[in-house]
């Protein structure tokens, strides 16, 4: 899709991004959605990029910076990792991120967070991290994480902006409105910390069952939809500490 067409479509659903300041006295939590090899590392699997991708590289860089800031301050981080059981498909996508493979592990730039005490890892076998947090006994890892850490501001980054990030944000905002996530007040989606995949219509036409997915447009649509549910879309995030993004 040409740049002009994307720009034209974006003017029909404009997105005002904000400069978000997280006050010093607010308890912030960082959610990393699926920043794993199977979606981010060139050639790592059926849904991985086939060549280096600027939007995905920037997302990893920005997310790693945030993870570092949160870990330095020992603030809570929750990482969702897409991890599917072999043979259990996720329509309409081909098999991906099978449990136990490196596809379902964090990208090299984030692998170090696994051993940090402030980091919770949650493997999920569905798009939506909120649903994927439901445990056998009915409890919810994400809800417990918000409550135990008394999180007031949730910062969300990851991939894909319009799929797993969006689904998680939508469920979280609905649960918040029902009073299940107190003391959570704000859900902030950091736009440069999010990315989606590129599958232009010219390629999709030649394949069965694959939906076209133009990257720039779908990233924008994902952010727009999240905003429509009540999320704040951040162009930049400032913390009332010495470090900023
Ligand atoms: Zn999946």
What's 187's domain CATH number? 3.40.50.850
245 domain residue, yes or no = no
Asked, for residue 244, whether it belongs to a domain, the answer is no
| Ligand 1 center–CA 147 separation, angstroms | 27
Q: Which domain holds residue 199?
A: 3-239
- Confidence bin at 203 (pLDDT 50/70/90): confident
Give the pLDDT of residue 205.
80
Q: 24: CA distance to ligand 1 center in Å?
A: 36
Spell out the long-range contacts of 176-184 with Cβ–Cβ below 8 A and sequence spacing 24 or more: 180/143, 181/143, 181/146, 181/147, 182/147, 183/27, 183/150, 183/151, 183/152, 184/146, 184/151, 184/152, 184/153, 184/154
Distance 127 CA to ligand 1 centre (A): 6
C-alpha–C-alpha distance, residues 7 and 166, integer Å: 21
Question: Is position 131 within any domain?
Answer: yes
In a domain, 7, yes or no: yes
Number of domains the chain is built from: 1
21 within a domain of the structure (yes/no): yes
- Residue 86 sits at the vertex; the CA angle it makes with 83 and 88, to the nearest 5 degrees, is 85
Please tell me the distance between residue 65's alpha carbon and the centre of ligand 1 in angstroms: 25
Assess if residue 221 is contained within a domain.
yes
Q: What is the crossing angle of helices 215-228 and 3-12, to 10°?
A: 10
Ligand 1: distance of its center to the CA of 191 in Å? 21
What pLDDT score does 243 carry? 52
Q: Give me the chain's average pLDDT, please.
A: 94
Domain assignment present for 205: yes
| pLDDT for the residue numbered 240 | 81
Q: How confident is the model at residue 202 (pLDDT cuts 50, 70, 90)?
A: confident
93 compared with 120, residue with greater pLDDT: 120
Q: Is the pLDDT of residue 207 over 80?
A: no
pLDDT of 209 reads 67
Reported pTM? 0.95
């Amino acid at each position: 899709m040409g740049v002009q067409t994307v720009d034209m479509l974006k003017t029909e659903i404009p997105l005002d991004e904000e400069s978000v300041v997280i006050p010093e006295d607010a308890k912030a939590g960082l959610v990393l959605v699926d920043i794993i090899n199977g979606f981010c590392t060139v050639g790592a699997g059926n849904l991985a990029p086939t060549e280096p991708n600027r939007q995905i590289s920037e997302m990893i860089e920005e997310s790693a910076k945030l993870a570092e800031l949160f870990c330095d301050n020992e603030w809570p981080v929750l990482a969702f990792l897409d991890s599917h059981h072999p043979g259990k498909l996720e329509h309409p996508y081909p098999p991906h991120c099978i449990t136990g493979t490196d596809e379902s592990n964090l990208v090299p730039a984030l692998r170090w967070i696994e051993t940090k005490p402030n980091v919770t890892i949650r493997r999920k076998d569905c798009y939506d991290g909120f649903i994927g947090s439901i445990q056998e006994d009915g409890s919810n890892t994400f809800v417990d994480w918000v409550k135990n850490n008394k999180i007031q501001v949730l910062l969300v980054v990851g991939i894909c902006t319009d799929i797993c990030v969006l689904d998680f944000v939508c469920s979280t905002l609905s649960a918040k409105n029902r009073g299940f996530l107190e003391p959570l007040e704000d859900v902030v989606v950091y736009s440069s910390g999010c990315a989606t995949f590129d599958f232009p219509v010219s390629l999709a036409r030649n394949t069965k069952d694959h939906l076209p997915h133009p990257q720039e447009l779908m990233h924008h649509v994902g952010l727009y939809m999240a905003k429509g549910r009540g999320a704040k879309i951040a162009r930049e995030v400032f913390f009332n500490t010495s470090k900023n993004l």
